[in-house]
Amino acid sequence: MTHSHTQADLPRCRAMLGQPNDYLDGDLAAELCQALETHMAGCHDCQIVFDTLGQTVRLYHSLDDAPAELPADIEARLLLRLQEKASSAARSEH
């Protein structure tokens, strides 16, 4: 089954990816967690972003004196990539 990103998905992606640290730390509300997992099952972009985030977080947690949260610039870069995708998709609609 092929599922490509539609414009309707992108605001949801950004809303969900706004709290990756909470999700990865298990602090996110259970129903929100489930919505995120359901969304990711059909959204390749979010799978990649979360896979990357998860690996980064695991790496951080494996270090001594690891910060509890991702560095802001890593998170910002991942979100920026999604926003670039969103704006290029919006442009191609015109």
| Residue 6 CB-density burial (10 A; 0-12 exposed, 13-18 middle, 19+ buried) | exposed
Smaller CB separation from Zn ion, 13 or 86: 13
**Which range touches Zn ion (CB under 5 A), out of 10-18, 25-33, 52-60, 67-75?**
10-18
Cα 92 to Cα 83: distance, rounded to the nearest angstrom: 14
Does position 13 interact with Zn ion (CB under 5 A)? The reply is yes
Does position 43 interact with Zn ion (CB under 5 A)? The reply is yes
Smaller CB separation from Zn ion, 39 or 74: 39
- End-to-end CA distance of the chain: give it in Å, rounded: 28
Cα 57 to Cα 66: distance, rounded to the nearest angstrom: 9
Smaller CB separation from Zn ion, 24 or 43: 43
Does position 53 interact with Zn ion (CB under 5 A)? The reply is no
Q: How many residues bind Zn ion (CB under 5 A)?
A: 3
**Quick one: CA dihedral 77, 83, 84, 85, positive or negative?**
positive
The residues that touch Zn ion, with contacts defined as CB under 5 A, are 13, 43, 46
